[in-house]
Amino acid sequence: VLRDNWEARSRSDARDFYVASHPGWDEAERWEAQAEADAELMLHAVDAEELATAHVLEVGCGVGRLARPLAARAASYTGIDISAGMVAEARIRLENVAAARFFVCDGLRVPEAACDRRYRQIVALAVLIHCPRDVVRSLVASAYELLEPGGQLRFQVLADPDDPTGIASLPAAEEVHQEMRDVELVVTPQMRELIDGHYYMGAKFRFDELEPFLLDAAGGGGVVLFRPDLVHVYGWIERPRGGD
């Protein structure tokens, strides 16, 4: 069902909207600016020099929206996606970026072709928020295996909105929250119409269950979590340097 849903969205006229549902999704300049900002967000505080000589993997790469900014910051970029339609489009859009490559995956693990190297950063933005719990578990396990020591899997998952715990109260978090509210306020009727009727199946996590869930899925590592608002948690799981 997950694959069929994304395959259908990859053939929709509003494909890019389903990839990145933000105001301006159908304007090239705003689309690229948002991709840059999202890449920066996902790489927050990552050592740029270290990254420049390392490999990056994106799980759920869609049409390659983040491929360009990620490839520009790393030695190589690999994108994997459950939807063949998304991967086909990504290959077209990134054909002039030699350091970028794309593979279709089964939605549960990193495919064989992408297991030829260890990754410094593995990024999953707007992907696990759409996946059932067992799919999240399987992707985390598979990705963690491919991290180099000190490497991180950075992700975004859905928070259970009935769980009030873990919400950051730092001024920075409030700023992020306000930005998100501002975006929500400008969801146009067209955007609303595109979302309505779509079946999304993302698991919602209670904040305090997330760390044990991730450690259990990965079989180790260190976890950092950040909950800027009621509905999202961002974070990473890191493979220890010099460890397993």
Ligand X SMILES: C[S@@+](CC[C@H](N)C(=O)[O-])C[C@H]1O[C@@H](n2cnc3c(N)ncnc32)[C@H](O)[C@@H]1O
Cα 219 to Cα 107: distance, rounded to the nearest angstrom: 20
Question: 28 or 241, CB closer to ligand X?
Answer: 28
Give min distance, CB of 242 to ligand X, in A: 30
Give min distance, CB of 227 to ligand X, in A: 19
Question: 167 or 180, CB closer to ligand X?
Answer: 180
Report the relative pairing of strands 76-81 and 55-59 from DSSP bridges. parallel
Question: 61 or 153, CB closer to ligand X?
Answer: 61
DSSP state letter for 169:
-
Give min distance, CB of 46 to ligand X, in A: 17
The contact pattern for ligand X, residues 96-125, with x = CB under 6 A and - = no contact, is ---------x-x-----------------x
Cα 15 to Cα 169: distance, rounded to the nearest angstrom: 35
Cα 209 to Cα 204: distance, rounded to the nearest angstrom: 11
User: Does residue 82 bind ligand X (CB under 6 A)?
Assistant: yes
User: Does residue 66 bind ligand X (CB under 6 A)?
Assistant: yes
Cα-trace Rg, the chain: 17
Residue of 99, 88, 221 whose CA lies nearest to 151: 221
User: Does residue 60 bind ligand X (CB under 6 A)?
Assistant: yes
Looking at 56, 135, 159, 210, which residue binds ligand X (CB under 6 A)?
135
User: Does residue 140 bind ligand X (CB under 6 A)?
Assistant: no
Number of residues that bind ligand X (CB under 6 A): 23
Give min distance, CB of 222 to ligand X, in A: 24
Question: 165 or 198, CB closer to ligand X?
Answer: 198
Q: How far does CA 108 lie from the centroid of its chain?
A: 15
Cα 104 to Cα 102: distance, rounded to the nearest angstrom: 7
Give min distance, CB of 241 to ligand X, in A: 27
Max CA distance (Å), the chain: 52
Question: 95 or 208, CB closer to ligand X?
Answer: 95
Interacting residues toward ligand X by CB under 6 A? 2, 6, 19-20, 59-62, 65-66, 81-83, 86, 105, 107, 125-127, 130-131, 135, 139
